[in-house]
Structure 1
Amino acid sequence: METSPLIPTKAHEEHKRDLLEGDQQNEKTTPPKVPATPTSPNLGQRSRSSVAPGGQFGIYWRSPISMISLFLIGLGSALALHGWYSSLNGKHVGDSNQQQRALWVGTTLAFITQISLAGSIIFAYVQTLWRALKRSVISIYAVDAGFAASSTLLSFTNLEMLSKLRLASSLALIAWCIPISSLIAPATLNVDSILQYSGQMMNVPALQISQAGAYQEFAYYVPQRSMLQNYLGPRTILTRLALATSATGEILRLTPPATNATYVQTFFGPYVQCVDANQSIVGAIDAVNVRRKAAIDPSVKELSNDYFAFVPALSNLNDTSLHAPIQVANLSDVNGALYASNQLWLTIPGSNVSQLNLNFSQIANPTYLTCELHNASYHVNFTWTNGAQFLDVLDIDVFDATPYPTDPSFSAVDEDNMAYSAFMWTLSSQLVGTIGFYQEVSRNDTNIQIIANRTYSEVATNLEQTSLLGTSNLNSHFIKNHFLSSNNASQPFSPARIQDMALARNRTLDVLIPELSSNITLSLISHPLLSVPELTNVTTTSPANIYVYQPKRVFIAYGIAIFFALVANVLGIWAYFSNGVSHDNSFWSIVTTTRDIHLSKLNEHERLGALPRQRNVGKTKIVFEVGDMAEGGRGGGRWGFGIA
């Protein structure tokens, strides 16, 4: 293998020592002289005709093309970033690989935009810097700062550079600020959680109480002879569902078609409507109440009656006139309910609640209500959100009253009424009865005197098992009852009563009874025996993560960056034509423009260019000019930097 000849180490060391000795000798004999003031006679008045032979004019095409190309690349990548983020806007995020790909593409385009715009501005900055140097008398310190402004922020601490190289300094500062836009752009693509809606036909439960033949699931009956039935009352499933609804005061939970779903149904079902009783019915209620009191055990005296509800036996074919004594249907006995009705009559005498005493005889504005079963059209919105049920009754259209079966044996045409009548039977069973105050009577007292300490209240109705017990119609009763037991006027209600009132939301029975009937009707849908599948348009929702793009921020960030880059390119093109040549900050450019003999003498003791430079050297004023071929020309026919 051949090897290149090497300079002997000894000869190399001797050569280096000779150079150092020569430098020291020159330092002793010819110290450098640094002129303090500029002496160029042609400063600011140079022309191409004064260039020394061999001066190369002409703009090298690659430099301006590179500047413009970088600007166009930056503009294109910014538009590509906007297009990429726009394509992701509203789309599902997907798995982790898709998320990383989305972020990687956006970050890459933001980086390309940043470096391209900054690079384009650097080209313009360099041309503008050289143009300014050709027209300025400036210190070496400021020239150093100008050339380093694109690579170090410390250059901007040089005030002379900022004052004499204003345009170039501004472009360098803009190039430093361009990366800020790349920090803003990626933050414009966010991930949001939304509910995704989709509609599809699904089978949902629909109440079948109004359908032909449905009475078999709602009512007990006994077939008798051909086409005749014997109605016996409600089935146990109907009773259980009604009791559960009445106790909680809420609609029972239905089976949702999906965890998040909503649909609207319109169907027929029973509805109980309560109105103020007319005068005939008021008289009939009072008459029944008188007969009821007369049947009380003689050892007990009723002081007041605060609630009395019963089902009138209006379907007795032998006694249908209100002028005849109205009988009370016994719903606990099948035979006693044969001549019942689909009505509930009740009265709530109101005591004077402003006086907390035991004067039970004070009665104020008694209320008489007639509640009757009707067929109604329900328009209901069923909604489930994360499994939680929300039923909103949009509208209830009430139609004609539903008649009670008129005979123990009836034809098939009455089958539709049988299921509805079973519903009313179940509801009425929870409301009939009495609430009042009583006192025991001494059996040994011939004057029938009342013993006060034997006074008590009695709730003889299943109403106490329902949410309706908290009705405001009964507040007077429970005020007197609490005062009777505690004699504390400052606390008119017991804690238990306060809870009952909260459950009923302090409403009256004419509102609570219809609401309970509609709640029971809707609760029947929860049981598959009482409902049938029905194909319905269901809107389902599911949580989803999607990309959300905010283009306004991108337009602001990159719009500002592109605007300043465009201005820089315009200034750069102007500088190209003004300079007449293309410049850069390469080593060769520095060497070829700094070969002035005076500069050579100035730096002959700092050939290594090491820091720090001598203070007197740094303050030396230099100027970039075209040397004059005439005698006395300082440039010696050269174009470049020289001492001013």
Structure 2
Amino acid sequence: MPLIATVTPGTISVESRSVTNTTNGRVPSVDFARDETLWSDSMGVGYINEASPAVTRLLSAVSSSIGIIPITAPFPNSSFTLQFYAPALKCESLANAKKNGQPVGNCNNCTSLQTLWDDTIDSSFAANYYYWQATKPVYSQNLFFIRAGGGKSVGGDPHNISCQLWNASYTTKFKFNDGVQTTLIQDLAYESTMEFNTSVAFTSLPPGGRAYLAMYLAMSDLLSGEVGIRQGLSSSGMFGSDLPVVKTGLMACPEVLAGWKAFGSREPPLDQLVSPWMCRNNSVAAAVEDMFQNLTLSLLSSEFLNGNTTTDIRVTSPKNFWRYGPLDLLISYVAGVAVAFVALLVGSWALIANGYSADVSFSSILLTTRNPDLDGVAVGQCLGAQPLDRNFEKLKLQLGVVGRTDGIEHAAFGIRGTVKELRKNQECI
């Protein structure tokens, strides 16, 4: 049984499991109705002139990191989902944009999308050597035009892209694993284009309109410009290398690299300065959309531009559980019983083999220590312990058959040499 008592605790172990609970907590959110002076500069004339430093600084971080600026995790391992309305760019080929009836607005040259494109994009022969050309039509319905790949007349494969600002519905999941953020847009629905542009005064803009236009202007300023080589000059060098767009991942898009290679450019070696992963979704149109979505989602990380809301947060945390192992318990008890049974067998065999049994009762001690030899040794010893005669300490005793003064022999401890051997089945009276 002592063995069983020692082994039994081993049948219970502690294991750690992840437990998920839902709690309601505060998280960052978009807040376009926040103080609108934080979003843009008016130059004192009541119209949007350019995006504020808070917006451009955030876009610079987004474009250079080619990702979303993370927020502080509400819990190290947690997740939550937000649904909100925010701006989004919708980019498509010029041909598809015309087919889909992309609205152009009421500007002077807005008679048609093709007319607006022709009046906005540089079509000179020198422009054929640009493998990136982007600009925004003035006072259009928040459009942005991009031509990537160079002109056909010089061996390029131009890709004409039209982007437009939309109001969109975002359903986004934020997940944190040990504090590291993963963001997934579960649903993005383009609701409507904006019926206002930068020609509308602040007082006539709808709530949040100033923020939408500020983000559009910041994105336009980042992407605008021409990148390529100078007509008639060496293919070495990059025209427009100081533009902000060159510092983004858009230079890694296949359309841009194809134009760079078509012109035989050598320095700088653009293909060695970028990597395919830098062009998100592997096309200019999709990468521009992705960058603007990243800007929108990164608003949550800006202490100057974000708001806050409450939502359900799924929190995962480790918890210790006791695990009971019935098989281990059964094994320990079976082993204990088996050992006890073996000990019982050995004891029974010893009892049968020796032919004598005893216990530690007073009567057993009395009867096995009464004989003339021990009585003689004990003479003069007044105490049972100290002081004890050294000769008495060295005296060796043996269990066997000893005689008494009346001549009757019995089993007892006697001095070695005066004791007969105790044999099995020997009669002892």
TM over 0.5: yes
How far residue 207 of structure 1 moved from its aligned partner, in angstroms, is 0.5
* Amino acid corresponding to residue 508 of structure 1 in structure 2: S
Instruction: Give the structure 2 partner of residue 496 of structure 1.
Output: 273
SS of corresponding position for 2:67: coil
Instruction: Give the structure 2 partner of residue 361 of structure 1.
Output: 154
How far residue 345 of structure 1 moved from its aligned partner, in angstroms, is 1.8
Report sequence identity in percent: 17
How far residue 241 of structure 1 moved from its aligned partner, in angstroms, is 0.9
Once the two structures are superposed, residues 355-380 of structure 1 have per-residue CA deviations (whole angstroms, 9 ceiling, x without a partner) of xxxxx82234x322222211122222
Instruction: For 1:370 and 1:342, locate their aligned partners in 2 and report how far apart those are by CA, in whole Å.
Output: 11
Instruction: For 1:412 and 1:363, locate their aligned partners in 2 and report how far apart those are by CA, in whole Å.
Output: 44
Instruction: Give the structure 1 partner of residue 329 of structure 2.
Output: 555
Of 39, 53, 60, the match for 1:243: 60
Name which one, 1 or 2, has greater alpha-carbon Rg: 1
Q: How does 1:72-221 map to 2 (within 5 A)?
A: 114-115=1-2, 179=3, 181=4, 184-193=7-16, 197-209=20-32, 211=33, 215-221=36-42
How far residue 208 of structure 1 moved from its aligned partner, in angstroms, is 0.9
Instruction: For 1:609 and 1:509, locate their aligned partners in 2 and report how far apart those are by CA, in whole Å.
Output: 111
Instruction: Give the structure 2 partner of residue 390 of structure 1.
Output: 182
Instruction: Give the structure 2 partner of residue 471 of structure 1.
Output: 253
Instruction: For 1:585 and 1:564, locate their aligned partners in 2 and report how far apart those are by CA, in whole Å.
Output: 25
Instruction: Give the structure 2 partner of residue 347 of structure 1.
Output: 147
How far residue 191 of structure 1 moved from its aligned partner, in angstroms, is 4.5
* Amino acid corresponding to residue 586 of structure 1 in structure 2: D
- Alignment CA distance shift 1:594-1:469 (3 Å): same
- Alignment CA distance shift 1:480-1:183 (3 Å): farther
SS of corresponding position for 2:231: strand
Instruction: For 1:453 and 1:274, locate their aligned partners in 2 and report how far apart those are by CA, in whole Å.
Output: 34
Instruction: For 1:274 and 1:377, locate their aligned partners in 2 and report how far apart those are by CA, in whole Å.
Output: 17
SS of corresponding position for 2:251: helix
Instruction: Give the structure 2 partner of residue 307 of structure 1.
Output: 132
**8 Å contact from structure 1 (residues 438, 455) kept in 2:** no
* Amino acid corresponding to residue 239 of structure 2 in structure 1: E
**8 Å contact from structure 2 (residues 41, 50) kept in 1:** yes
How far residue 558 of structure 1 moved from its aligned partner, in angstroms, is 3.1
Instruction: Give the structure 1 partner of residue 387 of structure 2.
Output: none
Runs of at least 5 residues in structure 1 that lack an aligned partner in the other structure: 1-113, 116-178, 295-300, 313-328, 330-338, 353-359, 441-451, 487-491, 625-634, 640-644
Once the two structures are superposed, residues 538-589 of structure 1 have per-residue CA deviations (whole angstroms, 9 ceiling, x without a partner) of 3445556x353342353233342466489789x99xx9xxx9xxx9553749
Instruction: Give the structure 2 partner of residue 65 of structure 1.
Output: none
* Amino acid corresponding to residue 608 of structure 1 in structure 2: R
Once the two structures are superposed, residues 440-463 of structure 1 have per-residue CA deviations (whole angstroms, 9 ceiling, x without a partner) of 4xxxxxxxxxxx647643236431
* Amino acid corresponding to residue 361 of structure 1 in structure 2: V
Instruction: For 2:48 and 2:121, locate their aligned partners in 1 and report how far apart those are by CA, in whole Å.
Output: 31
Instruction: For 1:402 and 1:379, locate their aligned partners in 2 and report how far apart those are by CA, in whole Å.
Output: 20
Instruction: Give the structure 1 partner of residue 91 of structure 2.
Output: 274
Q: How does 1:42-61 map to 2 (within 5 A)?
A: none
Count residues with an aligned counterpart: 369
SS of corresponding position for 1:484: coil
Once the two structures are superposed, residues 257-290 of structure 1 have per-residue CA deviations (whole angstroms, 9 ceiling, x without a partner) of 3444432221111111222222758854773477
Instruction: Give the structure 1 partner of residue 224 of structure 2.
Output: 432
- Alignment CA distance shift 1:524-1:564 (3 Å): same
Q: How does 1:464-543 map to 2 (within 5 A)?
A: 464-479=246-261, 484-485=266-267, 495-498=272-275, 501-504=276-279, 507-541=282-316
Instruction: Give the structure 1 partner of residue 193 of structure 2.
Output: 401
How far residue 596 of structure 1 moved from its aligned partner, in angstroms, is 11
- Alignment CA distance shift 1:282-1:232 (3 Å): closer
- Alignment CA distance shift 1:290-1:561 (3 Å): closer
Of 458, 465, 469, the match for 2:239: 458
- Alignment CA distance shift 1:548-1:493 (3 Å): farther
Instruction: For 2:151 and 2:400, locate their aligned partners in 1 and report how far apart those are by CA, in whole Å.
Output: 115
**8 Å contact from structure 1 (residues 230, 410) kept in 2:** yes
Across the aligned residues of Structure 1 and Structure 2, the Cα RMSD in angstroms comes to 4.6
Of 212, 228, 233, the match for 1:420: 212
Q: Does 1:608 align with 2:416?
A: yes
Of 359, 364, 382, the match for 1:586: 359
SS of corresponding position for 1:519: helix
Q: Does 1:231 align with 2:48?
A: yes
How far residue 420 of structure 1 moved from its aligned partner, in angstroms, is 1.3
Instruction: Give the structure 2 partner of residue 166 of structure 1.
Output: none
Instruction: Give the structure 1 partner of residue 384 of structure 2.
Output: none
**8 Å contact from structure 1 (residues 189, 547) kept in 2:** no
Runs of at least 5 residues in structure 2 that lack an aligned partner in the other structure: 99-111, 369-398
How far residue 185 of structure 1 moved from its aligned partner, in angstroms, is 3.3
Once the two structures are superposed, residues 17-43 of structure 1 have per-residue CA deviations (whole angstroms, 9 ceiling, x without a partner) of xxxxxxxxxxxxxxxxxxxxxxxxxxx
SS of corresponding position for 1:528: coil
Instruction: For 1:484 and 1:223, locate their aligned partners in 2 and report how far apart those are by CA, in whole Å.
Output: 47
Instruction: For 1:351 and 1:190, locate their aligned partners in 2 and report how far apart those are by CA, in whole Å.
Output: 72
How far residue 497 of structure 1 moved from its aligned partner, in angstroms, is 2.9
Instruction: For 1:415 and 1:506, locate their aligned partners in 2 and report how far apart those are by CA, in whole Å.
Output: 33
- Alignment CA distance shift 1:408-1:290 (3 Å): closer
Instruction: For 1:290 and 1:340, locate their aligned partners in 2 and report how far apart those are by CA, in whole Å.
Output: 14
Instruction: For 2:330 and 2:150, locate their aligned partners in 1 and report how far apart those are by CA, in whole Å.
Output: 73
Instruction: For 1:559 and 1:422, locate their aligned partners in 2 and report how far apart those are by CA, in whole Å.
Output: 77
Instruction: For 1:455 and 1:261, locate their aligned partners in 2 and report how far apart those are by CA, in whole Å.
Output: 51
- Alignment CA distance shift 1:609-1:530 (3 Å): farther
Instruction: Give the structure 2 partner of residue 325 of structure 1.
Output: none
**8 Å contact from structure 1 (residues 482, 494) kept in 2:** no
Instruction: Give the structure 1 partner of residue 118 of structure 2.
Output: 287
**8 Å contact from structure 2 (residues 8, 329) kept in 1:** no
SS of corresponding position for 2:217: helix
How far residue 304 of structure 1 moved from its aligned partner, in angstroms, is 2.4
